[in-house]
Each structure stands twice: as structure tokens, then as C-alpha cells.
Structure 1
Amino acid sequence: MSQHISRIQSKHQGRLYVRLIQDSFTIPGPVGEHLGLVFEPLREPLWLLGRHLGTVGLLPTILKAFFKLVLQGLDFLHSECHVIHTDLKSDNFLLGFEDSSVIDDYVHQQKANPPLYKEVDRHPIYQSSADFGGLRKGVGLLKINDFGAAVFGNVSTPHRHDIQPEQFCAPEVLLKAGWTYSADIWNLGMVLWELLEDTSLLDGIGPESDVYSREAHFAQMIGLLGPPPRELLDRADSAVHSDLYTTQGEFKYPRLIPSEDFNFSNLTLFLKGEDKRLFIEFASKMLQWLPEERLTAKELYNDPWLNFRPGANQKGSQ
């Protein structure tokens, strides 16, 4: 999949924000040749930027800038490459190095203080490290990474296999109702809470257990969005549907549905005022029951929340 994406020759701006293959090689192994892919070195996941800046999550003003790059990259994947990522999470948004000297200094440090290693077939296998110290000046470009679970979207029938981190699962994925590009959009909406507050909007953990369950996860969706549309349930796999609903169409686990306090406003305490209102509207455009009602990455790019600057907007309105 990475090779397919890297072969796409396009002037789409989003291509800059996808990690592409730089080179490849093969090496012999005991059962045949192994393909090696060469990528540019990248510094660290986006969420670590908050740690460098002394915050738990990313400041909204910082996230807005990076999120626009993510949307451009995702639009390139969807519209030009016809690829569904299926595993969008903060670990898969990587930042490049701000300066080549960071890598040079890291190499010298490793030579001076070699990391721990073990020998396998008389070859040293070194312990990896991703600690490159504090930022020196700015940050490198953001890249969407890891296409190990990606699939093609230009297929004749929707995909139905399980994808996505559990807590980020789209409703059509939970229902095995068939999914396509819009599953990435739901996933991206869920990532907002992870990046801003280092938390999960829906964790799938109900009041009766401390482990994830599909029933609790679906109940949380109902608590947040209201009952699912009948047309979505009609698409569900029959076995999954019967696990969740009675023959009379009643949800079997009403006790797992959170109280009325479980709403976007109460789950978005990290924002205030107009910034919060616009954010909830933005997230709601991604977090829709029906996949076809979610906006595309391209349509989300110029959303008012991404362009809203609280201090500047207030000053300009005076």
C-alpha cells in the first residue's frame, strides 16, 4: 500500500503530508527475499509536541494548524490514491525533524553511549530510542504514517471487516454494516479529543465493567447522538443486530446508556465560549450516525473552527 501511494504522481498539496517511500531494497533470508522500504526519518508523534510545550494535550491554536494539514493529507489519500487509512490515531501523525543537526547530534550520542543490545545469530540488535530531546527551533512537517491496515476504497462492495482502534470505531464498523472512506472521517473526529485532552470521547467501558465492550460502546453512541437511524440498523449484519436489538426493535442494553449529562458540551471542558461552540459544530460534522452525512476531508478544510482565533477574532470585532 505504501508503494502504491508513493507511486501516485500528483500536484495535490496533501501529498506533502503523507509519509512516502524514498527507496527500497531486498535482502536474502532463510525462506526467500525480504523487501525493505526506506522512509525519511521522522521525529515523533504529534501528541508529544504538547509535552515539549508543557501541556497535557495540544493547545487548540496549535492543533488547528496541524489538523488542516491532516485533512489535506487525508483528502489526497481518499481522492487521489483511493485509499482508506482505517487506523487514524495520534501515534500515526508524525512530525519531521526541525533541523538535520538533531539527527547528527543523536548519532554522536549513540556512538559515545551505545544503547543496550542483544545478539541474534551473532548480529547485534539495539534497543530503539525515540528521545531526541527538546525542540530547538520550530517543528518539521507533519506526515500521516502507517498504512499497514489501509485498504482500497474504489471497490465494488463496502468493506465489512473490523478496523480502527476500539474506542475510535465508527458505528457502521461496530454494526458490520459496510464501511468506506467516511469511516476515516468518524475516526478523525474521535482523534480530536485524544489530541486536545489526551482522552477518549467514547471509551466503550460501561458502568458495570472496567473492560471494553461493543454493547457499552454502542450505548455511549446513543447517549451522545440519540437513537441510530433505522436505515443504518437495516444495513447491519444480522447477527450483530440481534445481539444489540430485540425483534421489536428495542435496544437490549438501556442500562448502559449514559445519562443526559453525557453530551458534547460536558465532554468538551477544555474549550470555552465561541471556540467551544464552533468546535462542537466541527466535530458534529464528522460524528454522524449515517456515513453519507459526514463531511469529506476536503469539505472540512475551511471549517469556521479551524480558522477561528479567539484573541484575534475578539479584537477584530471591537
Structure 2
Amino acid sequence: MSCSASSGSEEEDEGVDSYRKGGYHAVRVGDSFAGGRYIAQRKLGWGQFSTVWLAYDTQCSKYVALKIQKSAPQFAQAALHEIEVLSAIADRDPSNSKYVVRLINHFKHTGPNGQHLCMVLEFLGDSLLRLIRYNRYKGIDLNKVREICKCILIGLDYLHSELGIIHADLKPENILLFSTIDPSKDPIRSGLTPILERPEGNPNGGVTMSVIEKKLKRRARRAVARLSGTRASMGVVGGTPKSERCLDAIDVGCKLVDFGNACWADKQLAEEIQTRQYRAPEVILRSGYSSSVDMWSFACTAFELATGEMMFTPKSGQGFSEDEDHLALMMELLGKMPRKIAIGGAQSKDYFDRHGDLKRIRRLKYRPLDRLLVDKFKFSDTDAHEFAKFLCPLLDFSPEKRPTAQHCMQHPWLNIKNLNQNELKGESNVDKVDVGMSKLQINVGQ
């Protein structure tokens, strides 16, 4: 799995062990790349294959994301593949309007650990995973979810229809907002003066200091958490109730990033694709896949944005595997898998008997999606019904029956304007349904 264009991995630290021959390139603030064109400003993140830095492009006078791949041959090969995919994406979208990250440049950089392929990408903001966390896993207002979904669908339609590319790892972490949630983290909005040479007096160019500061901050946070442990356990942190944050000021325009696992629909590289929680059933069963795997992941992502929780979080248990639990969770939400599909994959015999029933998980607790949204996530009946009507076709066990991104963009749910939840506070559920219905009728009538 490679690293996002600018948010990088959501973990804190890649560790020093991988800074060796074949591994990461050690970067210091003020280091220059590509004959002095790009100057490293600060680290944005990292992935298994690369680190990502905010860099200043001295030729164009703008900030970019610089992705520096590990140097071992397998990582170089993966980078060449990603460059090929990103180049095709950029070539067919000269106006940069398709909601997919833009590759600006690529080059090789030689360092003490070997030769590293580098990609220069447009600088983007935080990932949707960060947005979900920022909102304290409360579920984002449905109007915002609609805006995000429209961006993702335009990007997927471009990849699938025009380029024949399957993203193969769509998830909130691999979708970046145009800008950062916190304006002070945005180099342009915060008025950051670019660093054009290595800071004097510190051979590590400020990196060591930032690591020490991070450790001290973490220690301070832990101390505060211990002191306020009792209040935190009551859902109060620092004296404030743990409610959802106001996202009104945040631009939720976003782009698809991280094409390290992408493939051409007619030239597939791997059998096992997609991050576990967003993996389609045909990938688990090894029954072959197409661009419709991205539509399954898209539905999982939309659900997570709207509820704050992942749709499927499988775990292995006594006598059954994570895969089998995943299939059971799917069926509990979507109904029994048709026998033909259940027994049709190369791995089907591991999980299903010849009747199409799971071998080791016999008792399933069925609860349809609209009921789950009402019972667990407190959606109004109208919101739950409309949202489930949008998601359920995307979660069809038959991959060929799932709507395409283009088809999905025509769905009425994307054009419903909901009243803000705050405006509905204090009303009974019946009132909410009535308001929702009248609002829906107004939109249909327009």
C-alpha cells in the first residue's frame, strides 16, 4: 500500500529501521531535489512504500507534495507503475477537473540508501478519514456527504469510463480534501514563507527537534488525559460535551489519491486487492473482479461518512476466519448471498457448502440497512429510507448488477436538499419525517 498524495499514513511514525539500503531516503528540511527545483519544507506523512513531504517548487513558486519512494527494486517497480497510471490520468484531463490527484513531475534522486523514484503531486489537504476523526466519529451532515459523493463519483466515472482504470483501494484515507481542515496547516492560507535553504546551526535541519517536540507534546497530552480521566469518561473533555463539530466552514471538495494499487481493467496485477473493510465479496471469493469493486468500496465509504463507523469490521473467532465473518456480516445486512455467487469463486469451498450456506457461521442476525440507520444511528425514517435506496444497489452481490459511477450520479438521493439536523432539534420523529417528506416533495416538484 502506498502513501496518499499529501496526508500520508494516519499512523504517527514510520520508525528509523527502514532508513537503510533499499529503504526510505532521509530528508532534512531545506534539502533540494531535481537540481534545486524542489525544496523540502516539512514531512506530511508516510506509507509502506514512501514518505511524503511538503515541498516548494522554486520554478513555479508554489507548494507541492513530494513523494519519495523506497529504493529497493520492488518499490521502484511499484513507483514506475504508479507513474504510468498517474501520467495517463493527467494526460486525458488537461483542465484538472476530474477530481483525481494530478501528477506534476517525476524524477530519480540518488542518496546514501540508493536511487529513489520521486513523484511531484499537487498539494492537497486532509483525508476524509481525518475529517471523520475531526468530527469525532459522529457522522457528517448528509448535505456534506452528498457533496463528497458527487466528487468521488466524477473521479470514478473518469477512471472507469474514459481510462479503464480500477482504483482498487478506495477508502476515506485515499480521498483528500482540496484544503486542510485547520487553515494554519495550509501553507498558502497561513501565509507560510517558504524555506529556501537548510536552516543554519542544526545539522538535521529541524527534523530532530520536531521529533523531540512531538514526544514532549504526546507526554503532555497523556498527563492531561490522566488528570481529566474522570471527566473524559463522562463524555466531557476539558469541560466541553463531546458533540459533533461544526463543519460549515470546511470545503468538502475532494480528490481521489494513491494509485499504488490501481490497475488497468484489462491487465490486472493482483488477486487480493482493497483494504479489508472495503473489500468486495468477489475479491474474497476470488471469482474475478472489474471496476464494480470500486463501487462497493464507494458505498462503504459513503456509509462511513454518514454514520462515523465502518460498514463492516470483520474479526476472526473460534473456528472461523476473518473472511468468513466478513461474508456473514455482509449477508446479515444485505440478505442471503445467491447460491450461484456463493459457490462460484476459487475460494468458495473454504467458506460455503454446496447449498450456498456458510460452513462455520450458521446463525445470522438479519437487519436491513434502513433499519440499522434508524435503530443504531438515529436517522429519521425518511433519511434512512432514501440513503438505503442509494446504497443498496451498490452493494449487490452480483458485481454486474451494481450501477456504474455514471449511472449512480443520476440517483435522486444526490439531489435531495435536507434541512440541517440542528433545525430539526427538539421535534418528534414524526415531525422530522413530515418535514423530510415535504422537503422531498418540494425538490421533486421543482
Q: Name the TM tier (shorter chain).
A: 0.7 to 0.9
- For residue 103 of structure 1, give the secondary structure of its aligned residue in structure 2: coil
- For residue 107 of structure 2, give the secondary structure of its aligned residue in structure 1: strand
Hey, what's the Cα distance between the residues in 2 that align with 1:118 and 1:263?
Answer: 60
Q: Give matches, 1:72-87, under 5 Å.
A: 72-87=154-169
Hey, what's the Cα distance between the residues in 1 that align with 2:258 and 2:348?
Answer: 32
Contact 1:14–1:73 (Cα < 8 Å) also in 2? no
Query: Given the alignment, which residue of 409, 418, 425 partners 1:301?
Result: 409
1:81 to 1:266, Cα distance in 2 relative to 1, 3 A: same
Aligned to 2:257: 145
Amino acid at match of 2:187: I
Q: Give matches, 1:252-267, under 5 Å.
A: 252-255=359-362, 257-260=363-366, 262-267=367-372
Hey, what's the Cα distance between the residues in 1 that align with 2:403 and 2:248?
Answer: 37
Aligned to 2:438: 314
Q: Give matches, 1:7-46, under 5 Å.
A: 7-8=88-89, 9-10=91-92, 15-30=97-112, 33-46=115-128
Q: Deviations over 1:133-160 (max 9, x none)?
A: x9895527411111111111123xx776
Amino acid at match of 2:350: D
1:47 to 1:313, Cα distance in 2 relative to 1, 3 A: farther
Query: Given the alignment, which residue of 331, 341, 357 partners 1:232?
Result: 341
Q: Give matches, 1:1-318, under 5 Å.
A: 1-8=82-89, 9-10=91-92, 15-30=97-112, 33-49=115-131, 56-97=138-179, 102-104=186-188, 105=190, 107=192, 124=207, 138-139=250-251, 141-155=253-267, 161-205=271-315, 208=317, 213-237=322-346, 240-247=347-354, 249-255=356-362, 257-260=363-366, 262-269=367-374, 270=377, 271-311=379-419, 314-315=438-439, 317=441
Hey, what's the Cα distance between the residues in 2 that align with 1:250 and 1:77?
Answer: 36
Q: Cα offset for 1:164?
A: 1.3
Q: Cα offset for 1:64?
A: 0.2
Hey, what's the Cα distance between the residues in 2 that align with 1:254 and 1:2?
Answer: 43
Hey, what's the Cα distance between the residues in 1 that align with 2:407 and 2:94?
Answer: 15
Hey, what's the Cα distance between the residues in 2 that align with 1:11 and 1:110?
Answer: 32
- For residue 17 of structure 1, give the secondary structure of its aligned residue in structure 2: coil
Q: Cα offset for 1:197?
A: 1.7
Hey, what's the Cα distance between the residues in 2 that align with 1:159 and 1:39?
Answer: 24
1:241 to 1:265, Cα distance in 2 relative to 1, 3 A: same
Hey, what's the Cα distance between the residues in 2 that align with 1:135 and 1:305?
Answer: 21
1:14 to 1:305, Cα distance in 2 relative to 1, 3 A: farther
Amino acid at match of 1:215: E
Amino acid at match of 2:302: L
Q: Deviations over 1:257-289 (max 9, x none)?
A: 4313x3212321342232221110110110000
Give TM-score, length-normalised by structure 1.
Answer: 0.80
Q: Deviations over 1:207-265 (max 9, x none)?
A: x56x971111111222222222233234300xx2221123555421243x4313x3212
1:232 to 1:136, Cα distance in 2 relative to 1, 3 A: closer
Q: Cα offset for 1:6?
A: 3.3
Instruction: In structure 1, list runs of 5 or more residues that go unmatched.
Output: none
Contact 1:14–1:75 (Cα < 8 Å) also in 2? no
Aligned residues with identical type, % of pairs: 28
- For residue 119 of structure 2, give the secondary structure of its aligned residue in structure 1: strand
Larger RCO: 1 or 2 (CA < 8 Å, sep 6+): 1
Aligned to 2:28: none
Hey, what's the Cα distance between the residues in 1 that align with 2:418 and 2:249?
Answer: 25
1:189 to 1:266, Cα distance in 2 relative to 1, 3 A: same
Work out the number of aligned pairs and report it: 300
Hey, what's the Cα distance between the residues in 2 that align with 1:147 and 1:21?
Answer: 11
Hey, what's the Cα distance between the residues in 2 that align with 1:162 and 1:183?
Answer: 12
